[in-house]
Amino acid sequence: MDVTRAWVTLMALSALATALAVFGQGATWAVLAILVAAWIKARVVLRAYLGLAGAPDWSRGFSLVLGLFMLAIMGLSAFT
């Protein structure tokens, strides 16, 4: 993914998260959708800007840790 495409993706996900925050009014589904958008944004930043696309082993490791962290946060937000 080139930097321009990554930037456009990040802007679109930021706009989506903002719209969900405004119109979701704290509903559980909106919180989970915002967390999914943040998860995708983190992956885009790691792969496009930090160059993990060129290091697949590191990318998988970071993705695993990030995935476990995001699932834990989603679980906490869904059940509290």
Containing structural domain, residue 41: 3-78
Two tokens, residue 19? 């719209």
| Digit-coded pLDDT (tens) for 3-14 | 999 999 999 999
Comparing C-alpha atoms, which of 13, 15, 73, 72 is closest to residue 44? 13
pLDDT of residue 78: 86
| Digit-coded pLDDT (tens) for 12-56 | 999 999 999 999 887 889 999 999 999 999 999 999 999 998 999
Total tally of structural domains belonging to the chain:
1
Position 71 confidence tier, pLDDT thresholds 50, 70, 90: very high
Position 1 confidence tier, pLDDT thresholds 50, 70, 90: confident
Sequence-ordered list of residues with C-beta below 8 angstroms from that of 67, at least 6 positions apart, any chain:
39
